[in-house]
Structure 1
Amino acid sequence: MPTSTLPSIPRFDPGPPTTENLEWADLPVVELSQTRTPEERAALATVARDAMRTFGFFYVVGHGCSPAQNERIFDIADVPFAQVPEEEKRGFVGDIKATGSYRGYKLREYWHIANGVRDQLEHYNMHRSLAEGLQKHPKALQPLIPELRAFAEFNHYEVLHPVLRLLALGMELPEDTFVKIHGFDAPGETYVRFMKYYPRSAADDAATANVYLKGHTDFGTLTVLWSQPVSALQIQTPDGRWKWVRHVPGALVVNAGDALEFLSGGFYRATIHRVVRPPADQADRVRVGAFYFAMCDDGVRLEPVRGSAALERVGVAKRFENEQAPTMEAWRRGRTSAYGQTELVKRDAGVEEEVINGVVVKHYN
């Protein structure tokens, strides 16, 4: 990513990590610098495979981004929120429900959380290519387009593709099995997303049991989250407990989504995660996040890959029959349009459901 003379923008101070004694998830670490030879990749593939099958989440380090570049990303991530006037933001709001696309802003109070309480988070989404004419951006972001493009390419080629190679090897498939269906310039909606959570009132916290974003699975293949100090992300561990994801300076947090679960025949499972009120020593801070939400090419049908001896040994877990499998585009549009906008059906305690493309989608509160 660029490190030469850069446009001047305000410094964002994320604050210090929490000092509270929380119940942290013991997530594995994948060292991407150890992927230079086939032997190194084969050894690391076992680590990535077991981490993704056990937790669905792991840390990525050794990716090559310097601490200064990492800080710069979070300075940029705050620009669409702190440096764009509210009136200008409204001109770039995405028509999410109609288009099934997150491009542009999602402003606060678009999603219903629980008991009449709506969300207090904004996010701004950019198509990965940042191509001129594809999407217009607020004035404050326009000088940063070259850096945003470099950020997208870094996530795609230096993080996403190496991890996809490891996960393919973990299934005893050719290394490029998943890479081939994640083209940077192919039709699709992989996003760079910046997100900002704002503190809520005590009444809203009480009405939602401190949940800021319900337990859910992502709908793409892999999500890359750039670790930041304000603790709020929790994952549901295999024993059904919620545990916090610890901040690791300079690390990236990678998790599986629905599309990877479908493509891998359940070998890799989309992991349930949620966002909750930060601990007491961080509860009054805003939480700014930087993400890369990866999806395979729009035309890819989300049916299990063939030729995996590892999958044959454990058995295919299908969510639908192959002929009913939606394309990535259909699944993306269905999940995007419905989220936080449809009437959910309550099932077990704390579980709500909706049906999208014939698949039961669960939300955990």
Structure 2
Amino acid sequence: MPSPTVPISHYEPAPVTTSTIDYADLTIIDLSKSNTKEGRAQLALQVRDAMSNQGFFYLIGHGYSTEQMERMLDIADIPFSQVSDEEKQKYVAPTKQTGSYQGYKLRQYWHIDGGVRDQVENYNINHDVNRRTHPEAVRPFLPEISQFARHSHMNVLDPILRLMALGLELPEDTLLNMHGWDTQSETYVRFMKYYPRSAEDEEKTKSVWLKGHTDFGTISILYSQPVAALQILARDGTWKWIKHIENAIIVNAGDAMEFLSGGFYRATIHRVVQPPPDQRQYTRLGIFYFCMTDDDVKLAPLVASPLLQRVGFKRWFDKDEDAPLMLEWRKARTSAYGQTTLSKSDKEDGVEEEVINGVVVKHYN
């Protein structure tokens, strides 16, 4: 990463909560051990267990220092604190029309519940930062954002994909070859900022900021930040909080990975809720790297996997040729999210549904 030479305002994150809350017991993977064949074989088993049982795990040893992360958080705040509302409007993503998040998603775009709309703002940048233009305040930092995206792709995503392929007993470059750096894909960096809501909105939504959902890509990479708000739906039907670990990464699988693995690697349901009382006055600034296969990859099960042949797998489509391309799936999911009218499930309480590309997509209220 280049030395930070551009002056920047410092974003001060919230202190870690001291509230007693029910944290999920997630596996911690030390990625630095993946540099040897023996290390990858060992880690592959750990990742396989974590992804097939929980769908989430922590990642340490990823080669990015605490100081580098602090710098990136300062950069992440710029699209929100240093760009006027008027200029933001010029860079709003035409999400519903194009199925792409590139640019701003401004507050109150998503419907949450009870007539309440969201209070989260995000700015999305393709891993190729030159894919589109950016607000003036962001432009001096594009070289650093590009280096961050490359690090997230080459030094975090690529090793994870190798381990997950080994877990399926496939050649370790199987998933890697579907996630090119120089190919056409929507893999992107997201800077995301949640703002505190009114007591009235909290009551109407039962303190839910984003309904329970699955991500639509293959792998989601979240750089841990201190405001407790993220929860996952555990196998026993309870919501567990995700604990902040300094300079760790939180990794989860999405729909596309569940399709490719025939349901073996779970797209875990997660949501965002109001933080504990001692953090409610703070904004919540996050950095993500959302990963998708190349646009032209068919999201059909990798039936060549010896593991899947032994344990069985699920098909969402009768024939592989009926499976959507990554391009089709991400456009349909992106344009629909928070915009469509959902139907209540006939089978599960508190669950709302929509049908996308013939697949029932669930939202947990």
TM-score (norm 2): 0.98
Please show how residues 183-202 of structure 1 align to structure 2 within 5 Å. 183-202=180-199
Spell out the pairing of 1:276-287 with structure 2 (5 A cutoff).
Answer: 276-287=273-284
Aligned to 2:57: 58
Kindly indicate whether residue 209 of structure 2 is the aligned counterpart of residue 212 of structure 1. Answer: yes
- Looking at structure 2, the residues matched to 235 and 79 of structure 1 have their Cα atoms a distance apart, in angstroms, of 29
User: Root-mean-square deviation (CA), in Å?
Assistant: 0.7
Contact 2:230–2:271 (8 Å) recurs in 1: yes
* Corresponding position of 1:96: 95
- In the other structure, the counterpart of 2:17 is 18
Matches within 5 A, 1:1-365: 1-2=1-2, 4-131=3-130, 134-321=131-318, 322-347=320-345, 348-365=348-365
What SS is found at the alignment partner of 2:225?
Answer: coil
Deviation for aligned residue 1:323: 2.4
* Alignment-mate amino acid for residue 257 of structure 2: L
Query: Secondary structure of 1:298's partner?
Result: coil
Describe the SS at the equivalent of 1:35: helix
Q: Distance in 2 between matches of 1:308 and 1:113?
A: 39
Shift of 1:182: 0.1
Aligned residues: 362
Cα offset, 1:6, TM superposition: 2.1
The letter for the 2-side match of 1:343 is T
* Aligned partner of residue 262 in structure 1, secondary structure: helix
Distance in 2 (CA, whole Å) between partners of 1:66 and 1:232 is 24
Rounded to whole Å, the distance in 1 between the matches of 2:33 and 2:221 is 19
CA distance, structure 1, for counterparts of residue 187 and residue 286 of structure 2: 16
SS state at 1:255 partner: strand
Give CA deviations for 1:339-361 in whole Å, capped at 9, x if unaligned: 01111001132100000000000
Q: CA deviation at 1:90?
A: 0.7
The letter for the 2-side match of 1:162 is P
CA offset digits 1:200-232 (Å, max 9, x no partner): 000100000100000000000000000000000
2: CA distance, partners of 1:227 / 1:331:
27
Matching residue's letter, 1:333: K
SS at match of 2:352: strand
1:246-295 per-position Cα deviation (integer Å, ceiling 9, x unaligned):
00000000000000000111110100000000000001110000000000
In structure 2, what residue type is equivalent to 1:364?
Y
- 1:117, CA displacement in angstroms? 0.3
For residues 20 and 232 of structure 2, what CA distance do their matches in structure 1 show?
17
Q: Distance in 2 between matches of 1:26 and 1:287?
A: 23
Report the AA paired with residue 286 of structure 1. T
**CA drift at 1:314:** 1.4
Post-superposition CA distance 1:28-56 (Å, at most 9, x none):
01100001111110011001110111110
Contact 2:256 2:326 in 1 (8 A): yes
Distance in 2 (alpha carbons) for counterparts of 1:59 and 1:268: 16
| Alpha-carbon distance, 1:5 to partner | 4.0
Structure 1 runs (4+) greater than 3 angstroms displaced: none
Distance 1:263 1:202 in 2: 42
Q: Which amino acid aligns with 2:22?
A: E
Aligned partner of residue 165 in structure 2, secondary structure: helix
Structure 2 unaligned runs (5+)? none
Q: Report if aligned partners of 2:303, 2:309 keep a CA contact under 8 Å in 1.
A: no
State the distance in 2 between where 1:323 and 1:139 align: 44
Q: Do 2:222 and 2:251's aligned partners in 1 also have CA atoms closer than 8 Å? A: yes
The code of the aligned residue for 2:189 comes to V
Contact 2:213 2:364 (C-alpha < 8 Å) held by counterparts? yes
Question: Structure 1, residues 144-163: CA drift from partner, whole Å, max 9, x if none?
Answer: 00001001000000000000
Q: Partner of 2:193: helix, strand, or coil?
A: strand
- Separation (CA, whole Å) in 1 of partners of 2:227 and 2:212: 18
TM-score scaled to structure 1, two decimals?
0.98
The letter for the 2-side match of 1:172 is: E
Read off the aligned partner of 2:137 and give its amino acid letter: A
